[in-house]
Amino acid sequence: MTGIHFWLAILYLPVCGSKQSVRHTAATASTPSVGNHLALGQETPVELNQNMHIPDGYLSPSTCATLYLCATAGWYAALKHIKRLLATRAIPLISVFAAFSFVVMMFNVPLPGGTTGHAVGVGVAAIVLGPWGSILAISIAIAIQALFFGDGGITTLGANCFNMAIVGSFAAYAVYRLIAAKSNLNSRQRVLAAAVAGYVAINASALVTAVELGIQPSLFHDASGTPLYAPYPLHVAIPAMMIGHLTFAGLAEAVISAGMVSYLQRADLGLLRGVSGLAQTPAPVVAGALVERSPGRLWWAVAFLMLFTPLGILAAGTAWGEWSSADLTNPHTRQRIGIASGNHAPPSSVPLGIQKFSSLWTAPFPGYAPRFIKSPQLGYLLSAMFGVGVLVLASLLSIMAARKWPVKKLGT
């Protein structure tokens, strides 16, 4: 697979199989949202690109606190493991893979039942950065989505980072190490290993997400048994979440992971050796496989993908498990929710937790649709540019700070 064929394949994935389109109308400020909505004029909002981004109100406060603790432990361990490299190679690469993940998650894939999903980019991030660097990169991307665009909740930020960044990174890295073994960096075995690693990673993340959502009705309900948070139990949540990921979303992550490794084998083989203690993937030394290479080509790849992000809104549909209060009270949307949930109707009333916490945080640019931009496509593109710009700026500031205040080596 040549470089151009790989990028065209990625651009094709979000729209393949989709027969729906988004009408060219501006997003309205009055659109009710728990996450990533683009309004279709005065019609029911269509939710995009966040099948594993749990919104506020879907997990109980105790569940959120527990998963924040788990995520914090992962962030601390990641920072501790890569502390020696923060002043040199780690910052640029973590930044570029955070940007890559952010952009990739803006491309939506139509899933069975009228829902949508997306790849995460965690597979290739874990391969190049190792699990610890990948945890930081994916967490940064998820945080930017939640804080600036309302894609995922603030109370559930720890849960989303735990599911996609921590579980996904370790799953991808373990599978890649197992299959790649000690094969040459430029071997086809590495490409296969990357595909399987990406596929397993996104499905592991989806399964953990489904379990977190599915245990809510059993643990947290009122005296009449009405769920207070996520409304569907495990026997509904797991199949509804996993069917789409075991098929289309998993395939998208596999293609991106394999394609990126194939691309790096030709464009920057040294990155596949890991970054001096980040990935530490054992492999025979290959001529030309330099460890220290500039991530400049990856930034160009991110920029190329970013220009095509408006294609991400073509795969219209409602992401399972992330409905707004308006969705749960709209008869048409309720019917679609029931179909996507194995013909199990949603609760007759909006769970109290969703009512209480869904409006906890108002993002500056909700739904990747700045209110001052009339065109949804242009708003989506500018949102992508803003998110990547934030990461570029943060990377430059971090590098400057690291050079001014060098981080001491561990153990000194």
Angle formed at CA 25 by CA 20 and CA 26, multiple of 5 degrees:
125
Local confidence band at 313 (pLDDT 50, 70, 90 cut-offs): confident
Per-residue pLDDT, 252: 93
Residue ranges covered by each domain of the chain? 3-404
Rg (Cα) of the chain, in Å, rounded?
A: 21
**Which has the closest alpha carbon to 145: 398, 394, 384, 396?**
384
**Where does the pLDDT of residue 164 fall: very low under 50, low under 70, confident under 90, or very high at 90 and above?**
very high
- Report whether 152 contacts 35 (CB < 8 A): yes
- pLDDT score for 350: 92
pLDDT given at position 400: 80
pLDDT confidence band for 326 (50 / 70 / 90): confident
Q: Work out the percent of the chain whose per-residue pLDDT is above 70.
A: 77
The distance of Cα 91 from the centroid of its chain, to the nearest Å, equals 20
Instruction: Please tell me the predicted confidence (pLDDT) of residue 84.
Output: 65
Amino acid 193: pLDDT: 96
Minimal CA–CA distance to 53: which of 171, 181, 280, 212? Answer: 212
Q: 39 falls in which pLDDT band (50, 70, 90)?
A: very low
Question: What's the rounded Cα separation, in Å, for the pair 14 and 118?
Answer: 8
Q: In percent, how much of the chain has pLDDT > 90? A: 51
Report the DSSP pairing between strands 46-47 and 109-111.
Answer: unpaired
Number of H helices, E strands in the chain: 15, 4
User: d(Cα 310, Cα 158) in Å, to the nearest integer?
Assistant: 28
The structural architecture, per CATH, of the domain 3-404 is Orthogonal Bundle (1.10)
> Does residue 166 or residue 181 have the better pLDDT?
166
Q: Which of 62-76, 263-277, 379-393 has the weakest average pLDDT?
A: 263-277
Any alpha helices (H) in 215-295, and if so which ranges? 216-219, 234-244, 250-267
Distance of CA 136 to the CA centre of its chain: 13
pLDDT per position as a tens digit, 138-159 = 999 999 999 999 999 999 999 9
The tens digit of pLDDT for each residue in 183-202 reads 899 999 999 999 999 999 99
Looking at 29-114, which runs of residues are DSSP E strands? 37-38, 46-47, 109-111
Give the residue among 167, 174, 213, 409 at the shortest CA–CA distance from 322.
213
Q: How confident is the model over 206-252, as pLDDT tens digits?
A: 999 999 999 999 999 999 999 999 999 999 999 999 998 998 889 99
* pLDDT tens by residue, 70-123: 999 999 999 988 876 655 567 888 999 999 999 999 988 777 666 777 899 999
The reported pLDDT for the residue numbered 88 is 58
Tokens of 310: 């408006």
